[in-house]
């Protein structure tokens, strides 16, 4: 289970609901580059569907569709799935920034905090799909430490499956025991 309240120390984070669709739609419509490389289209119906869509075998209780808010203004949207495609992996199904906040390292800061939380929660990796040919998405995710591990065809569109491996956190007590066993203490 993911505690979304711990995903950011700077922004308010909350689950997005049907009442937020107009604001989500506005952010999606601003990001025209994203929609040049995907079959998705920014519509109210598509957003509503995305809010409830899960990968095969994943329960809706393991999906989190939420927003980051700066003084009540929605600045970023994320769709995060816990335990997909494997229990120790988290999957970012969607991440989009409000255009006014792009180019200021805010998206990178958000991803950094999300990754740090997921690592502290015991996740070993984070995966996502990048629409092949999208230079903006490819640059952003590479800059944030994601590496392409495979390609997949989804409805005739090529997706680049990317992953960021997370280091296992060893509790301080165990770290000391490990160093003692190696003769380092």
Domain 4-181: what homologous superfamily?
Gcn5-related N-acetyltransferase (GNAT) (3.40.630.30)
Whether residue 171 is predicted with pLDDT greater than 80 in this model: the reply is: no
CA angle at 33 for the pair 30 and 35, rounded to the nearest 5°: 85
Whether residue 28 is predicted with pLDDT greater than 90 in this model: the reply is: yes
pTM: 0.88
What are the residues whose beta carbons fall under 8 Å from the beta carbon of 83, sequence distance 6 or more?
Answer: 58, 62, 89, 90
d(Cα 114, Cα 102) in Å, to the nearest integer? Answer: 17
Q: What mean pLDDT do residues 98-104 have?
A: 95
Confidence of residue 179 (pLDDT cuts 50, 70, 90): low
Whether residue 165 is predicted with pLDDT greater than 70 in this model: the reply is: yes
Chain-centroid distance of CA 139 in Å reads: 15
Euclidean distance between the first and the last CA atom of the chain, given in angstroms as a whole number: 37
Whether residue 185 is predicted with pLDDT greater than 80 in this model: the reply is: no
Q: What mean pLDDT do residues 165-183 have?
A: 63
Q: In the chain, helix, strand, coil percent, each to 5?
A: 40, 30, 30
More confident residue, 39 or 106: 106
Provide, rounded to the nearest whole percent, the portion of the chain with pLDDT above 70. Answer: 90
């Amino acid at each position: 289970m993911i505690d979304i309240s711990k995903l950011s120390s700077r922004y308010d984070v909350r689950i997005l609901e049907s009442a937020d669709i107009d604001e989500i739609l506005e952010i999606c419509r601003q990001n025209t580059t994203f929609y040049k490389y995907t079959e998705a289209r920014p519509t109210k119906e598509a957003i509503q569907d995305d809010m409830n869509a899960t990968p095969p075998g994943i329960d809706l209780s393991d999906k989190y569709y939420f927003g980051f808010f700066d003084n009540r203004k929605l600045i970023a949207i994320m769709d995060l799935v816990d335990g997909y495609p494997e229990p120790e992996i988290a999957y970012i199904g969607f991440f989009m920034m409000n255009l006014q906040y792009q180019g200021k390292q805010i998206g990178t800061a958000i991803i950094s905090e999300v990754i740090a939380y997921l690592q502290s929660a015991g996740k070993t990796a984070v995966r996502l799909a990048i629409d092949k040919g999208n230079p903006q998405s490819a640059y952003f995710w590479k800059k944030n430490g994601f590496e392409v591990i495979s390609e997949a065809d989804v409805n005739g569109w090529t997706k680049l499956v990317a992953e960021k491996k997370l280091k296992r956190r060893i509790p301080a007590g165990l770290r000391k025991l490990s160093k003692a066993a190696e003769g380092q203490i």
